[in-house]
Amino acid sequence: MMSNTPRIFVGSTTFLVTGMTSDACLQIVSAAISGFVGVRVVEADLIGGLVTVTADRPVNRAGLAAAIIQAGYTVLAV
């Protein structure tokens, strides 16, 4: 994770994700984490590899990172 966000957070946190090379990849990553209870917005930047997640209820960052990894991508700085 790229921010100082606590492990369990409400608000926004950003992940640096490698391996995303197309819009389809962005959709896969977004789908992997948008199903978490509390996640309201997922913004992904293909060029920068940044995925920003905004939640209005407590969400575990490690769980989000695991979902991204399970979808086939690498999360840097976990």
Three state DSSP letters for 12-70:
EEEEEEECCCCHHHHHHHHHHHHCCCCEEEEEEECCCCEEEEEEEEEEEHHHHHHHHHH
The answer to whether position 1 is within a domain reads: no
Residue range of the domain that includes 22: 8-76
- Amino acid identity of residue 69, one-letter, is I
The answer to whether position 3 is within a domain reads: no
CATH of the domain at 53: 3.30.70.100
Q: What is the mean pLDDT of the segment spanning 16-21?
A: 94
Q: What is the mean pLDDT of the segment spanning 51-69?
A: 95
- Average pLDDT in the chain: 90
pLDDT, position 3: 55
Q: Residues 23-54: pLDDT tens digits?
A: 999 999 999 999 999 999 999 998 999 999 99
Count of domains for the chain: 1
pLDDT, position 70: 97
Residues 46 and 22: beta-carbon distance below 8 Å: yes
The answer to whether position 52 is within a domain reads: yes
pLDDT, position 1: 47
